[in-house]
Amino acid sequence: MAEIISARVIVTCPGRNFVTLRIETRAGVYGLGDATLNGRELAVASYLNDHVIPCLIGRDAHRIEDIWQYLYKGAYWRRGPVTMSAIGAVDMALWDIKGKMAGLPVYQLLGGASREGCMVYGHANGADIEETIEAAIAHVEQGYKAVRLQSGVPGLAATYGVAKAGERYEPADGALPTESLWSTEKYMRSVAPLFEKAREALGWDVHLLHDVHHRLTPIEAGRLGRELEPYRPFWVEDPTPAENQAAFRLIRQHTNVPLAVGEVFNSIWDAKQLIEEQLIDYVRTTIVHAGGITHIRRIAALADLYQVRTGCHGATDLSPVTMAAALHFGLSVPNFGIQELMPHTELTNTVFPHAYSYRHGMMHPGDAPGLGIEIDEELAAKYEYTRAFLPVARLEDGTMFNW
């Protein structure tokens, strides 16, 4: 019995908001979990403080599966990003505790390493094609084997995935949502030329990726996929919103470009049809937003039956705690595909010291017991929560659209 005697939520903003759960056991061993839900951070903090932590006290931290089922089935109200992020944070912290008590890194508890490291993809973006290709070349020079390309669209003032001049890309950029205008026609004209020029400049030995960020209809996505086929992208991400999973049948009828979906999913049920009908090639759900290591293993096991591989979300709004957990999972899971890497700032890395590392386009979780992640609480306390929302998008005539 590893009795849970206390748990607390730590909210900090070292440049951006992060929510961390710390669970303590009577033996003095503690575990950390990420509970960050970009733009909705305090909702998860409240869910944990008001509704989850009181139920944890006195329970055995070793009973990870039972606690998962208790929080999932016991709420009566199932699924949803707030609930599943809170459960995800508890689950990560419990795996961290179990690893520390066993004296083993979590990937050993998950079956051990299935590979030498986790291939990651970096983000290359720029105001135009030339700038984006320059950024991609810089990534290749740093050893990246895979690079995501997002370029400014001629005629649009701002585009998803493209940093403001001289800044790092950070979408949660306003105390109220900033608004940008979208034109599918302008965007569609810009993507194939970007990939054509990228192949000319980078050759064929580097994987190239692209995120459509839910902006197309299925038939438009089919056309974009077909236009990109000659440039052999590793994947095209979120081509259309995926609430209607059957919509992806229409995309598949028109293109064989590999598809990646799932960063906004929070349960296996969101991906069930996409996986069973082999409508996607990579599932992007990650540890924090989909109920932790326990639930993502279930998603990956289902995906493995259908030759769908993992491609976990790894933007900067997922804290280093999630990155650590994703790497333990990624190193061990049989059907690993790729891991997204948007490096955190130096300051964030100082608040969250960690055992994981990057080398030659690959990442490794390290061999520290548990998840191999810490939080410097004194430093974290210096950076108070600052409200920040994700942007919204409208069509040029003012109609609300998908961001």
Q: Residue 336 is encoded by which pair of tokens?
A: 């690993």
Residue 315's binding partner among ligand EZ4, Co ion, none (Cβ under 5 to 8 angstroms by kind) is ligand EZ4
Annotation says 160 is catalytic = yes
Q: Which residue is nearest to Co ion (CB)?
A: 211
Cα–Cα dist 3/26, whole Å: 6
Q: What are phi and psi of 70, to 5 degrees?
A: -65, -45
Q: Which CB atom, from 86 or from 261, has the smaller least distance to ligand EZ4?
A: 261
Q: Is the dihedral of CA 202, 208, 214, 220 positive or negative?
A: positive
Q: Which CB atom, from 99 or from 258, has the smaller least distance to ligand EZ4?
A: 258
Name the active-site residue from 210, 213, 313, 344.
213
- Least distance to Co ion, CB of residue 214, Å: 8
Residue 38's binding partner among ligand EZ4, Co ion, none (Cβ under 5 to 8 angstroms by kind) is ligand EZ4
Closest CA to 314 of 305, 328, 326: 326
Q: Which CB atom, from 148 or from 354, has the smaller least distance to Co ion?
A: 148
- Answer yes or no whether residue 340 interacts with Co ion by CB under 5 A: no
35: left (phi over 0), alpha (psi -120 to 50) or beta: alpha
- Least distance to ligand EZ4, CB of residue 342, Å: 7
Residue 225's binding partner among Co ion, ligand EZ4, none (Cβ under 5 to 8 angstroms by kind) is none
- Least distance to ligand EZ4, CB of residue 11, Å: 17
Q: Which CB atom, from 315 or from 392, has the smaller least distance to ligand EZ4?
A: 315
- Least distance to ligand EZ4, CB of residue 264, Å: 8
Residue 41's binding partner among ligand EZ4, Co ion, none (Cβ under 5 to 8 angstroms by kind) is none
Dihedral angle at the C-alpha atoms of 87, 44, 19, 150, nearest 10 degrees? 90
Q: Which CB atom, from 67 or from 194, has the smaller least distance to ligand EZ4?
A: 194
- Least distance to Co ion, CB of residue 225, Å: 16
Name the active-site residue from 121, 160, 231, 282.
160
Q: Give exposure, 54-74, as e/b (b: 16+ Cβ within 10 Å).
A: eebeebebbebeebbebbbee
Name the segment binding Co ion (CB under 5 A); options: 62-70, 137-145, 175-183, 207-215. Answer: 207-215
**Residues lying near ligand EZ4 in the complex (CB under 6 A):** 38, 171, 211, 213, 263, 315, 317, 390
H helix or E strand, kind and range, residue 186: helix 184-202
The strands making up 18-25's β-sheet, listed across from edge to edge, are 4-12, 18-25, 30-34
- Residues contacting 356, CB < 8 A, separation 6+: 320, 323, 324, 327, 363, 364, 365, 366, 372, 373
What's the Cα-to-Cα distance from 48 to each of 51, 71, 124, 304, rounded to whole Å? 6, 11, 36, 32
Name the segment binding Co ion (CB under 5 A); options: 89-97, 165-173, 204-212, 292-300. Answer: 204-212
Annotation says 213 is catalytic = yes
- Least distance to ligand EZ4, CB of residue 260, Å: 9
Site residues for Co ion, 250-269, by CB under 5 A, read 263
- Least distance to ligand EZ4, CB of residue 79, Å: 19
Residue 245's binding partner among Co ion, ligand EZ4, none (Cβ under 5 to 8 angstroms by kind) is none
243 burial level (CB within 10 Å; 0-12, 13-18, 19+) = exposed
Q: Which of 96, 211, 220, 270 binds Co ion (CB under 5 A)?
A: 211
Q: Which CB atom, from 30 or from 160, has the smaller least distance to ligand EZ4?
A: 160
Q: Which CB atom, from 107 or from 160, has the smaller least distance to Co ion?
A: 160
* Angle subtended by helix axes 129-141 and 184-202, to nearest 10: 40
Q: Is the dihedral of CA 216, 220, 221, 225 positive or negative?
A: negative
Cα–Cα dist 344/319, whole Å: 8
Cα–Cα dist 206/2, whole Å: 47
Instruction: List residues with catalytic annotation.
Output: 160, 213
Residues that bind Co ion (CB under 5 A): 211, 263
